Amino acid sequence: MAAPSSSSSSSPVLSLWKAYHQNTSDRLKFIDSFLIFLMISGIIQFVYCVLVTNFPFNAFLAGFSSTVGQFVLTASLRSQVNPENKGVFKDVSPERAFSDFVLGSIVLHFFVFNFLG
């Protein structure tokens, strides 16, 4: 994603960063930092799998899908609590969104735990 945009024009990326800094509430930034952590964790696992071994394939899959799953669930939470999206999520209040998030994560990690073997 970043490669084509940064090579041809670096200023839009800078202004994007600036706009992000200004317009985002602290709560969302907190979620974003968690997202970035998950992303790095996922990349490390993937690189490990490619470079070293994928031997217990189910363990790799469990770990990797737990990061990916947690990532998308958190990203969902982020878009649901984002005040800009209020019109999109009429039926989902931020509290409801959080409880959905917790439930989804529990189910996800139940399967992850089962899959670790």
Partner 1 sequence: MSTAYPLPTNLSKTTVANTASLLRIVALGLISAAAIASRLFAVINFESIIHEFDPWFNYRATRVLAAKGFYEFWNWFDPTAWYPLGRVVGGTVYPGLMATSGVIYNFLHAFNLPVDIRNICVLLAPGFSALTAWATYMFTKEMKDESAGLLAAAFIGIVPGYISRSVAGSYDNEAIAIFLLMFTFYCWIKALKTGSALFGTLAAVFYFYMVAAWGGYAFITNMIPVHALALMLMGRFSSRLYVAYCSWYAIGTLSSMQVPFVGFQPVRTSEHMGALGVFGLLQIVAFAQLARSHLSSKQFQNLLTVAVIVMGVVGTFGFIALTYMGWIAPWTGRFYSLWDTGYAKKYIPIIASVSEHQPTAWPSFFMDLQFLIFLFPAGVVLCFRELRDEHVFVIIYAVVASYFAGVMVRLMLTLTPVVCVASAVAFSSLMDTYLDPTQPEAEGESRPAEVDASAASNGSTASTASKKEKEKAKKPAAGGALSDIVAATSSSKKSKGVWGLDTRLVVIAHSLLMLGFFVFHCTWVTSSAYSSPSVVLASTNADGSQHIIDDFREAYYWLRQNTAEDAVVMSWWDYGYQIAGMADRPTLVDNNTWNNTHIATVGKAMSSSEEVAYPILRKHDVDYVLVIFGGLLGYSGDDINKFLWMVRIAQGVWPDEIQEPNYFTPQGEYRVDDRASSAMRNSLMYKMSYYRFAELFGGGQAVDRVRQQTMPKTGPTLDYLDEAFTSENWIVRIYQVRKEDDLGRDLKSANAFAQGKKRKRTKPVSKRRAITV
Determine, following the binding rule CB under 8 A, whether residue 4 of this chain makes contact with partner 1: yes
Can you tell me which of 15, 25, 33, 53 binds partner 1, judged by CB under 8 A? 15
Contact of 85 with 94, CB cutoff 8 Å: no
Name the minimum Å distance from CB 44 to partner 1. 18
Name the minimum Å distance from CB 76 to partner 1. 4
Alpha-carbon span 7 to 5, nearest angstrom: 6
Residues 38-97 within binding reach of partner 1 (CB under 8 A)? 57-58, 61-62, 65-66, 68-69, 72-73, 75-77, 79-80, 82, 84-85, 88-92, 96-97
How does DSSP assign 33-75, residue by residue? HHHHHHHHHHHHHHHHHHHT---SHHHHHHHHHHHHHHHHHHH
Could you tell me how many residues make up the chain? 117
Contact of 101 with 77, CB cutoff 8 Å: yes
Handedness of CA 98, 21, 23, 84 (dihedral sign): negative
Residues forming contacts to partner 1 in the complex (CB under 8 A) are: 1, 4-5, 8-9, 12, 15-16, 19-20, 23, 57-58, 61-62, 65-66, 68-69, 72-73, 75-77, 79-80, 82, 84-85, 88-92, 96-97, 99-101, 103-104, 107-108, 111-112, 114-115
